[in-house]
Amino acid sequence: MNFFKNVMSSALGSIIGMLVAGTILIFIFVSALVGGISNALADADSTSVNVNEDGANVLVFDLNTTIVERGGAEPFALDLFTMNATPQLGLDQILEGLDRAAQDDDIEGILLNISGVSSYPSTLEDIRAAIEDFKSTGKWVVAWSESMSQSGYYMNSVADEVYLHPNGMTDILGLKSQVMFYPGMFEKLGMDVTILRGPNNKYKSAVEPFLRDDFSPENREQMEALLGGFWSTMKEAIARDRGIDPSVIDDVANNIGIRVAEDMVDLKLADALLYEDELEALLEKKLGDSELSEISFMEYTLPERMFNIDLEDPEAIAALFEEPSELSEVEDNLGGDIAVIYAVGGIQSGEGDAATIGSETIAAAIKEARLAPDVKAVVLRVNSPGGSALASDVIWRETILLKEAGKPFVVSMGDLAASGGYYISCAADRIYANATTITGSIGVFGMIPNIGGAYENLLGVSFDKITTHEHAGSPDGLFSMTQYEIDAYNEIITDIYSDFTSKVSEGRGMSAEKVEKVARGRVWTGEDALEIGLVDELGNLEDAIAHAESLIGLKDSERIFLPEMKDPFEQMIEDLTGVKANIDALSLLGAEDSYLKEVLEVKKLVESGEVIQARLPFNLHID
């Protein structure tokens, strides 16, 4: 594998070399960038955040930003080409902001102006529920946009009133997931891929694009169920809030029923068509004699996003200037009754970051909570497609030690808690998921690309080798494994799969036969997972925390959030010289960010040497 690692590393070597020189220029701009951010902060009052206390404030919520699971570590994403800092929001910050707005006497209502949003259905489900909670306080919600994508309309439809620009368009066409298959290309290039997935992983479809030219029956079955579950949740929610029959939504999708803006009103999907000035007049009418004052959600939540602290707390402000203290191996208080531990991203060995689950980082966080005398329960927030089987097992072991220490362990699943993400969850006392959470995928696979033929056919490069033993250096990523080697590795995968399913069986109190029936690498929606026993209840993070509170007999617990987040400016500098810099540099050549991230994930996987993965069987792009 070492040779292939070197080849892959060299492939981006020249780009990284150019970035070294580019980084010098980047640092020239850092002072100006920091100065600009400081000015932005100076404009934001720490208590009112520019809320107009003399007029009636309407909170404008557009979701025109990047949504991450946990906010605070990276309050903005930096475009290396333009040096523009684009704000991003954590799901936790969105939910906290909506809850605060619901209790804020200076906020009269919300204007949803959501043309589109790029997030998993589970994230949208949580945000939609928070807007419903806002409405339950008696405050109003109005939605208007010049145009609405399917996901945009799904979010806007939660409003009391929905309006569209007279010449606006709305797409309601159903859901699609499209996959590329590569065998034909491999044949032309003279390369192939060795696939390892054992005999019991027929739903583990990540490997299929390298084996087939279409969906297998098993993969088609699970994908149709997954998309069907998502569509059902969206359709039912829209129908309920608009007071129409769900069949109307299906008819619109089947017949391309929205062709002009008036169709939205005729089908009762919108209340009226309004120009923006007419919308303003409508809002002013709602506010009566009060003066209309609009405040964006980004501005409303600015202090929390930038510092992730309560700026009205003098001790929190003072802590910004204190040297961090090291947490010792001995038992230390952490400052909370419940430890909420975020496990977000692909699972790998070693340290992680805000977008990656490192086994060392998450295992250490669970251990800290286990040893801390004041922590009485742990809630693990999982949003992960899985990853390294070994790293997943390291984290799983800490969850077992936590339970053996007598501390309740509750899991809250976000968008994804699949494969390795389910592995680290399965020992929980109770598991919560959203209806549209993607979970399950209890299975294992291995994948080794064999690119030697491409070197020979396209570049004229030849290879020879000297070994002391027949299988030395195999697999090397260059040439296909022998059948003997494939059989040996499949035995390893079968053993890991057996271990995985046995841990699920023990953790969930299910028979081995029942686990096998719902495993085999198949993915499930949270709603389906509830029916088959992989989760215990549908609910969000707050529901999971409330259950943990009930287990320890506390109603209003103090919470501590782990792992500790890095300083945002420190994280920014790391990003400038790390993977994100590679992505942004390649983007200048016209490559799509989402696919570049997948390429770099594969590169990281190959370099790690961890061929065997407990990972979601596909990268899901839903249109």
Q: 143 pairs with which residues across the strands? A: 112, 162
- Specify whether the CB–CB gap between 478 and 467 falls below 8 A: no
Question: Could you give the CA distance from residue 543 to residue 134 in angstroms, rounded to a whole number?
Answer: 17
Residue whose structure tokens are 């069949």:
247
Other CB atoms within 10 Å distance of the CB of residue 556: 6
Q: 337 φ, ψ to 5°? A: -80, -35
> What is the longest distance spanned by two Cα atoms in the chain?
89
Catalytic residue, chosen from 149, 412, 419, 441, is 419
- Specify whether the CB–CB gap between 402 and 369 falls below 8 A: yes
Looking at the chain, how many residues does it have?
623
Question: Could you give the CA distance from residue 136 to residue 535 in angstroms, rounded to a whole number?
Answer: 28
- Specify whether the CB–CB gap between 521 and 202 falls below 8 A: yes
Q: Give which of 68, 131, 69, 121 is closest to 97, Cα–Cα.
A: 131
Catalytic residue, chosen from 151, 157, 204, 407, is 204
204 is catalytic: yes
Other CB atoms within 10 Å distance of the CB of residue 576: 18
Residue whose structure tokens are 């065997």:
612
Dihedral sign, Cα of residue 509, residue 512, residue 515, residue 517: negative
376 is catalytic: no
Cα of first residue to Cα of last residue in the chain, in angstroms, is: 37
- Specify whether the CB–CB gap between 116 and 149 falls below 8 A: yes
> Encoding tokens for residue 350?
């070693």
- How is residue 455 annotated by DSSP? I
Residue 280 three-state SS: helix
Residue type, 262: E
Question: Could you give the CA distance from residue 216 to residue 197 in angstroms, rounded to a whole number?
Answer: 15
Residue 67 three-state SS: strand
> Encoding tokens for residue 564?
């500790």
Question: Could you give the CA distance from residue 609 to residue 101 in angstroms, rounded to a whole number?
Answer: 48
Residue type, 462: S
> Encoding tokens for residue 402?
């936590």
Q: 56 φ, ψ to 5°? A: -100, 125
Question: Could you give the CA distance from residue 347 to residue 176 in angstroms, rounded to a whole number?
Answer: 27
> Which of the residues are catalytic?
204, 419
